[in-house]
Amino acid sequence: MCLVLVFRAGPVLAHDAKVGDLVIVEPWARATIGQVKTGAAYLTVINHGAAGDRLLAVSTPVAAKAQLHTHIMDEDVMKMRPLEAIEIEAKSSMTLEPGGGHVMLMGVHHPLKEGDAFPMTLTFETAGSVEVEVDVLGIAAMHGIGSHEQDSHESDKSAD
C-alpha cells in the first residue's frame, strides 16, 4: 500500500494530466460495437489541494455531446441520470467507473476502436480546463490499464 502512495505522489505519467492541485489518472473508454452512437469514458481525479473543486463539464471532438452521468436505482431498475457537477473533496480522490459516475459520449462520430485514443477536455470550477488523452480499451474492460493501482487507490480512499 505504501508503494502505491509513493507512486501517486510521483510525477504525472504519460496519459495522466495535471491542472492546479488536481491530477487526472488513467482516462479510458470502452470500444463501441458496430454503429452504436453512444459510449462512456472513465477516469480518476486526485485532489492534492487543501480545497475542494468541482468537475463542471467535459467535451471531446469524437462525440456531438459529452455529459457527466451517474447511475441510480429507481424502484428495481438501474437508470442513468445527468449530473450538473461532480465534487472532488480536498485531499481525496473521485473515480468515474462502470456502474457509477461516468462521462456519457452521445452522438459518437465514428466507432471507438480498441487501441485508439482520443482527446477529452475536462473543465473544473477552480483549477480550470485540461485536455487528457483517453485510451480506448476492449468492450469488456472494467477499469483502466493500471487497474491494480486504481483498486489499491480505492482501498486507500475508503480508509480515509
Judge whether 131 and 139 are in contact, CB under 8 Å.
Answer: no
Can you tell me the mean pLDDT for 126-137?
Answer: 97
Give the tens place of pLDDT for each residue, 44-102. 999 999 999 999 999 999 999 999 999 777 788 777 888 999 999 999 999 999 988 99
Domain 2-158, classified CATH 3.40.50.620, yes or no: no
The pLDDT of residue 151 is above 80: no
Strand 53-59, strand 117-124: pairing? antiparallel
Cα(76)–Cα(121) distance, rounded to whole angstroms?
A: 34
pLDDT tier, 146 (very low <50, low <70, confident <90, very high otherwise): low
Across the chain, what does the average pLDDT equal?
84
| Sign (positive or negative) of CA dihedral 150, 155, 156, 158 | positive
Judge whether 15 and 120 are in contact, CB under 8 Å.
Answer: no
Range list of β-strands (E), 75-114: 77-82, 86-88, 92-96, 102-108
- Residue 97, number of CB atoms within 10 A of its CB: 17
Higher pLDDT, 112 or 14: 112
> Domain residue spans in the chain?
2-158
